Chain A
């Protein structure tokens, strides 16, 4: 394989993997606290459109990213209200949130279809970016790409090294016991879902601001659901999620490269690759997941009456 091709697949994997990693971390902290959120797809879309519209209006990418994160977080509060305060079914509430995100983002984005923006600026690192192979493969990205691994580490640190993370995981395993030990499950779960919304919004912002430079209806194309599979693949561990996101990013990037190289396979069949990979991941890892899955995942803490 030529060096150029290798570099483009690698950097494609990193670029496509970035929104996936943010999304996976978003889903993961929620699930660690016992909440499955299928609305992630909607959160990403709302983040993508909020970030894009803000950037078009202000010309400021940083504002765009902040707007995306906040929009994602606020939007996720609808879900939080339903599953926490109203004790509604998590899967159905997540799907409702997804529908809402699809519709809302289409409505908000409609006047902006076709407008383009400058991509999120590339940050060059002196010396490193100039090396021939390393530089082009690893040091030619926007700020959100560079922040992925620190974010994963911070999430890991919060989950496993702080009291807050311990309480959160305790709630995910057994909310009644955590409640008895003096924790307030609902307050913590609200906080977690707010942060998950921030991360989901950023994932969307990276799609529209850094990858596409434009807005298109339903531009996430199922990435929110890949993230759900990736959480299982990563066995609910933030650092393993990095590898998972790279693998999926690699699948997306490989498929794009094969199309660009004119491999004689229909692009529609190639497009299936990440979806099929998600299914395969779900199947293969399901055997191992029982030990790692948070104990009360999907259940609603009913209070102690």
Chain B
């Protein structure tokens, strides 16, 4: 349905939709390299989707994945630049922890405002995205600007020890393992532990949960922190393995895409993987569309919005209120 509408949009703009779709499929699933690139794109998407899915267990709407990703990348860069003498065995865990902390703390600000009843996390996380991106721009245009690169706003390149190892000679990096571990932990905690049960109870009926002695604000803070941490890890992975230095063009809306993925799959771990796979094909397709059909990359937002429209229009009543 969404694909048909997008085909119409392409037609209106004088492009051949069938050829566009064929190009996308051929270039992504047709070759081993194309396929590995789809996997590379999936890594941050799974992580940013988790960043949304985890707080959504208690109906928190975290739209701040984008900002949390940027701050995660910022913290990781700090670690990579200032501890560049460490060996990879120390440096990689360090920047991973820093990335997690950065994203987590950034989300925690919104979580705190929500737990205090000061501001809805939806709007505050959205606003914090802009602040985070400006903060990263401040550092790469200012104090952390690489003196070697005369004009480009970017940090000094990461030392080799701070670059995540790659698998099978492709660009699939260690972040994939983090994403898988994150997914498994999420599934395990939600379905097999007391915390998962408490969170489900809270999601269904806050008042009842509160009366049976579950502390809502503690869960709000915790889940926002962990969720933000996931997005922070995505930022760490991108800055370390894909870019190798901090740039303001770090993310083409990965956080927002993660939000979309989490929402259409209602946070189910398998669904997240499937949707991330699909969206990665689409976004890889966005690059192809832009290169061969001269359509702006932002147009892919339309396709995503159409998918979301269809899901929203169909899912009447499921998400309630």
> Which of B93-101, B168-176, B270-278, B297-305 contacts its partner?
B297-305
Contact B309 A89 (CB under 8 A): no
Complex CA gap A82/B309 in Å reads 8
Interface-facing stretch out of B32-40, B84-92, B126-134: B126-134
Q: Flag if A225 contacts B126 (CB, 8 Å).
A: yes
Bound complex: CA A217 to CA B300 (Å): 14
B118 within 8 A of A: yes
Q: Which among A81, A95, A275 has the greatest number of chain B C-beta atoms within 10 A? A: A95
Q: Are B312 and A107 in contact, CB atoms less than 8 angstroms apart?
A: no
Q: Mark B251-273, 1 if CB is under 8 A from A, else 0.
A: 00000100110010000000000
Asked if A272 is an interface residue, CB under 8 A from chain B, the answer is yes
B295 at interface (Cβ–Cβ under 8 A)?
Answer: yes
Q: Which of A99, A102, A106, A299 has the most CB of B within 10 A?
A: A99
Question: Which residues does chain B contribute within 8 Å of A106, judged by CB atoms?
Answer: 296, 298-299, 301
Pair B123/A228 contact, Cβ less than 8 Å: yes
Chain A 209-237 per-residue mask, 1 if CB under 8 angstroms from chain B, else 0:
00000000110011001001100000000
Contact of A299 among B124, B316, B321 (CB under 8 A): B321
* B313 adjacent to A82 (CB under 8 Å): yes
Let me know if B312 and A100 touch, CB within 8 A: no
B259 to chain A: closest residue by CB: A95
B41 to chain A, nearest CB (A): 18
Whether the pair B312, A282 counts as a contact (CB closer than 8 A) is: no
Are A222 and B309 within 8 A (Cβ)?
no
Q: Are B127 and A279 in contact (CB under 8 A)?
A: yes
Residues in B neighbouring A279, C-beta threshold 8 A: 113, 119, 124, 127-128
How many A-B residue contacts, CB cutoff 8 Å?
Answer: 132
* Complex: A86 Cα to B311 Cα, angstroms: 11
Given A100-B306, A228-B123, residue A269 in contact with residue B134 (CB < 8 A) = yes
B residues with a Cβ closer than 8 A to A are 9, 13, 61, 63, 113, 117-120, 122-124, 126-128, 130-131, 134-135, 137-138, 141-142, 256, 259-260, 263, 295-296, 298-306, 308-309, 312-317, 319-321
Q: Which residues of B contact A269 (CB under 8 A)?
A: 134, 138
Give the residue of A78, A222, A286, A300 whose beta carbon is less than 8 angstroms from that of B127.
Answer: A222
Residue from the list B131, B259, B314, B319 in contact with A275, Cβ < 8 A: B131
User: Within 8 Å of chain B (Cβ to Cβ): is A119?
Assistant: no
Task: Sample 7 A-B pairs with CB under 8 A, ordered by A number.
Answer: A86-B312, A96-B305, A99-B260, A103-B305, A278-B127, A282-B120, A282-B124
In the complex, what residues of A have CB within 8 A of residue B319's CB? 88-89, 92
The closest CB in chain A to the CB of B138 belongs to: A268
Q: Which residues of A contact B298 (CB under 8 A)?
A: 102-103, 106-107, 217-218
Whether A153 sits at the interface, judged by CB under 8 Å, is no
Of B256, B300, B315, the contact of A88 (CB 8 Å cutoff): B315
Task: Say whether B118 contacts A99, CB under 8 Å.
Answer: no
Q: Give the bracket for the number of chain A residues in contact with chain B.
A: 35 or more
A283 CB contacts on chain B under 8 angstroms: 113, 118-119
**How many angstroms from the CA of A100 to the CA of B305 in the assembled complex?**
5
B299 & A107 in contact (Cβ 8 Å cutoff): yes
Bound-state CA distance A91–B56 (Å) is 13
A160 nearest CB across to chain B (Å) = 26
A107-B298, A268-B141, A299-B321 known; A88 vs B134 contact (CB < 8 Å) = no
Q: What residues of B have a CB within 8 angstroms of the CB of A299 in the complex?
A: 321
Contacts of A93 in B (CB 8 A): 312
Q: A residues within 8 A CB of B141?
A: 266, 268
Contact with B along A288-305 (1 / 0, CB 8 A): 000000000011100000
For B117, give the chain A residue with the smallest CB separation. Answer: A286
B13, closest chain A residue (CB): A107
A20 at interface, CB cutoff 8 A: no
B305 touches A99 (CB 8 A): yes
A118 beta carbon closer than 8 Å to chain B: no
Contacts of B127 in A (CB 8 A): 222, 225, 229, 275, 278-279
Contacting pair A102 B263 (CB below 8 A): no
Q: Identify A300's interface contact among B61, B299, B305, B321, CB under 8 A.
A: B321
Residues of A within 8 A of B130 (CB): 221-222, 272, 275
Contact of B309 (CB < 8 Å), options: A78, A102, A110, A229: A78
In the complex, what's the smallest C-beta–C-beta distance from A105 to chain B, in angstroms?
8
A45 to chain B, nearest CB (A): 10
* Docked CA distance A298–B127 (Å): 19
Closest to A268 in B: B138
- Complex CA gap A97/B127 in Å reads 17
Q: Which residues of B contact A180 (CB under 8 A)?
A: none
Could you tell me if B119 and A87 are in contact, using CB atoms closer than 8 angstroms? no
A268 to B120: give the CA distance in the assembly, Å: 26
**Which chain A positions have C-beta within 8 A of B295?**
107, 110
Docked-complex contact A99 and B119, CB < 8 angstroms: no
A279 to B110, CA, bound (A): 10
**Cβ of A260: which chain B residues have Cβ within 8 Å of it?**
none
The CA-CA distance from A218 to B298 in the complex, in Å, is 10
In the bound complex, residues from chain A placing their C-beta under 8 Å from that of B138 are 266, 268-269
A223 to chain B, nearest CB (A): 11
CB <8 Å contact, B134 and A99: no
Q: Which residues of B contact A276 (CB under 8 A)?
A: 131
Interface string of A84-126 (1 = CB under 8 A from B): 0011110111011101101110110010000000000000000
Instruction: Find out whether the CB atom of A91 lies under 8 angstroms from the CB atom of B308.
Output: no
